[in-house]
Amino acid sequence: MANRFYNAFDVETYGGERKTDYRNAFQIDRDRIIHAHAFRKLQSKTQVFLSGEYDFYRTRLTHSMEVAQIGRSICHYLFTRGAPLKPDFHIDGDLVEAVCLAHDLGHPPFGHSGERTLQELMVKWGGFEGNAQTLHLLTSTMYQNETSVRGMQPTRALLDGVLKYKKLFAEFPAPPPNHFLYDPQVAERTYVFGGRPIPAELMAGEKLNSFKSIECQIMDWADDAAYSLNDIVDGVKAGFLTYEKIETWAAGEPIDAARQALLDDLFDAIRADRLENVFSQKIGRFIRACRLRERDNFMAAKTNRYRFELIVSKEAENEALFFKKMANDIIFESPQLQQIEHKARRVMFELWEAVWRNYVEPRQRVIKILPPRVGRLIDAEATQRGKARQLCDYLAGLTDGMIVRTYRRLFDPVFGSIRDLS
C-alpha cells in the first residue's frame, strides 16, 4: 500500500539519481548508512566514557542503535493513536530509523571534548560542528577510496531529517560555539527547502535552528530520551554517580516536589539494583508522551514533513532536562572527564600542528604523516581554508583508538609499532 504521507519531493535524491531495487527509497537510505565504514567507526567513538575504558557502557554506535529503536517506537505509537495517521498516511519508520542511525556520524573522537577542540581549531576556517559534519559525510565524503570521494546520494527527507540546525556559520553576528551549518552547505539547505526562500522572521535568533521536519523532531526527542536516561545508568555502573554524590548535587539544586519524586525513584532503583529496568520503563513513558499537531509554515503545503510537528508533554521534557543536568554536573564536570578533555585538546592540537607544518605551510614536505589519499586531498586544495577543512575531515573521521595510536607513533618515544598502521 502506497504511503501518501510522502511525495516525489521527499524521495528525490541529492547528488543525482540512484539505482532502485526491491527496497523503497528510505530502506535504501537506512541500508547505506548501516553498511558504511563511517557507521562502523562509531563503535570506537566516545559517548560518555573514553572508548575502551569499560566493557559495558555505551559507545556512539550503541547509542545510535538505541536512538533508532526509540525513534521507530515513537512512529509506531503515533500510528496507534489514529487520526490523522492511518495505513496509507503515516510517518515512515524506515526513514526515522535511518535519520536516527545517521545523527551522530559526524562526531569526532573523544566525544563532546573532541568536538569543542575541533571547533576551536577551525573557528577561523569556518568552524566545526558535529551535525554539520554529519551532513558533510552524507552529501560529500561518506564513500572514499584511493581514487574518489563522494556522498551517499541521500533522499531529501533523510537529508532534512538529520538537519537539527539550519543556520549558517556566517549568519551569526559572532562565531558560534556550536549549532550551525558550514557556509558552503547553503547549497544543501537550499536543496532541502526546494529552492524556496526562507522567510525573514525565521532568520532571527535561533528560530531557523528550531525549524525541523517531523522526522528530525522525532530523532531529536529520541536522542534526548536515550542519553538523558542512559547516561545516568552508565554513570551509576561506572561509579561516577553514587548515592552520596547525587545527594550532594541535589542539595545545591532547586528541588521541588516533582524533582524530589524523581530523586526518590532513582535512589530506590539504585538500592534495589533495578536501575536499568526502572529506566527502561521511563523510556516507554517518554515514547507515550508524544503526540502530533498540525501546523502552518512556508513548507507545509509542499510536504507533510512540515505540516505536522511533534508535541512532547512538559512532564517528560522536564524529567529529561533534570537527568541531563545531573549527568552534566556530576559526570561531565568530574575531574576524570575533564582529564579526558585535556587529553583531547593536547592530542588534537599537536596532531593538527604536525600536519599543518608538513602539509600546508612548507614548500617541501618534511615527513609523511597522513595516509597518501588524505595527503593528496590536502594538496589538491588551493586555499588554506580548503586544506584546513580536509585536515578537519581527517581528524573527525578517526576513532578514539586511531587518533591515540597516531599520536603515540609521532610523539611517544617508546611506542614504535609498525604493525598497526591505522
Domain 8-210 has CATH 1.10.510.10: no
Q: Which range is least confidently modeled, 16-30, 44-58, 113-127, 405-419?
A: 44-58
- If we measure between CA atoms, which residue out of 171, 174, 205 comes closest to residue 186? 171
pLDDT at residue 290, as a whole number: 98
113: closest CA among 121, 102, 105, 125?
A: 121
**Please, which pLDDT band fits residue 420 given cuts at 50, 70 and 90?**
low
Average pLDDT over residues 260-275: 94
The highest-confidence range among 54-58, 251-255, 362-366, by mean pLDDT, is: 251-255
Overall average pLDDT of the 192-204 stretch: 97
Residues pairing with 155 in the sheet: 13
Give residue limits of the domains in the chain: 8-210, 214-291+309-335, 336-411
Q: What is the pTM of this model?
A: 0.94
Q: Give, as one character, the DSSP assignment of residue 210.
A: G
Q: What is the mean pLDDT of residues 195-209?
A: 96
Mean pLDDT of 185-197: 98
What's the pLDDT at 17? 87
Strands 308-312 and 290-294 come out as: antiparallel
Q: Which residues contact 7 (CB under 8 A, 6 or more apart)?
A: 303
- The 3-state DSSP class for residue 231 equals helix
Tell me the three cell numbers of residue 203. Answer: 532568520
More confident: 239 or 189: 189
Mean pLDDT across 49-75: 81
For the record, the C-alpha cell of 152 comes out as 551517499
Q: Taking all residues of the chain, what is their mean pLDDT, rounded to a whole number? A: 92
Residue 50 clears pLDDT 70, i.e. is over it: no
Per-residue pLDDT at 54:
54
The pLDDT value recorded for residue 367 is 83
Q: Label residue 422 by pLDDT band (50, 70, 90).
A: low
pLDDT at 177 over 90: yes
